[in-house]
Amino acid sequence: MSSLGNSTNIFWHECPVGKPDRQKLLQQKGCVVWITGLSGSGKSTLACSIGRELHSRGKLSYVLDGDNLRHGLNKDLGFKGEDRAENIRRVGEVAKLFADAGLICIASLISPYRKDRDACRSLLPDASFIEVFMNMPLEVCEKRDAKGLYKLAREGKIKGFTGIDDPYEPPLNCEIEIQQHHGICPAPNVMAGQVLSYLEEKGFLHA
């Protein structure tokens, strides 16, 4: 007797309109731009800047912001290790669907653990997963502290905060690394330009 919770009796259903058809319609190639880095490193700012620039070029994208997703899709998850892993797993699966739809999906999450990011990468053809590392020093991120979270973490009012009492594992082979130049953070449009240049070079902005 089968159980409703058992997925072994579920089969993939192919539709006649596939990813190549959607990409031809949109005149672009679906992919995932995964932005990772410490809180306050500029992930959301970069994600929105990329989205704005793509829109101005007539390219369809969608931003999956970590904080925004915790208001809906992931509102049942906390910040323990297993919850963080599930948070990233869900976002990875959603991002994969957006890419399959032909969109340029921009995922902006701290995603501190390398194995979780690598698991998301494994969901797509390798070239379609573009990891962007916001390599900003902890002291810079902590000085910004727009949400006041670092202060709370230093005071012990938040436990398991990435960069303070929980580790951040930087990428080993990211496609794009963004960092300070002579102690100055690049402007949002400059950072977005770096990502768009990569997308253009790799052919994602054309069908």
Q: What is the Cα–Cα distance from 196 to 55, expressed in whole angstroms?
A: 12
Token output for 130 = 């573009």
Helix (H) or strand (E) holding 133: strand 129-135
Give CA–CA dist 197/203, Å, rounded.
Answer: 10
User: What is the token pair recorded at 18?
Assistant: 């596939």
CA pair distance 160, 164, nearest whole angstrom:
8
Indicate which residues carry an active-site annotation. 111
Strand 104-108 to strand 31-37: parallel, antiparallel, or no bridges (unpaired)?
Answer: parallel
Q: Describe the crossing of helices 114-121 and 81-100 by its angle, rounded to 10 degrees.
A: 20
Residues 6+ apart with CB under 8 A from 41: 134, 135, 136, 140, 141
Q: Which two tokens stand for residue 50?
A: 């990329």
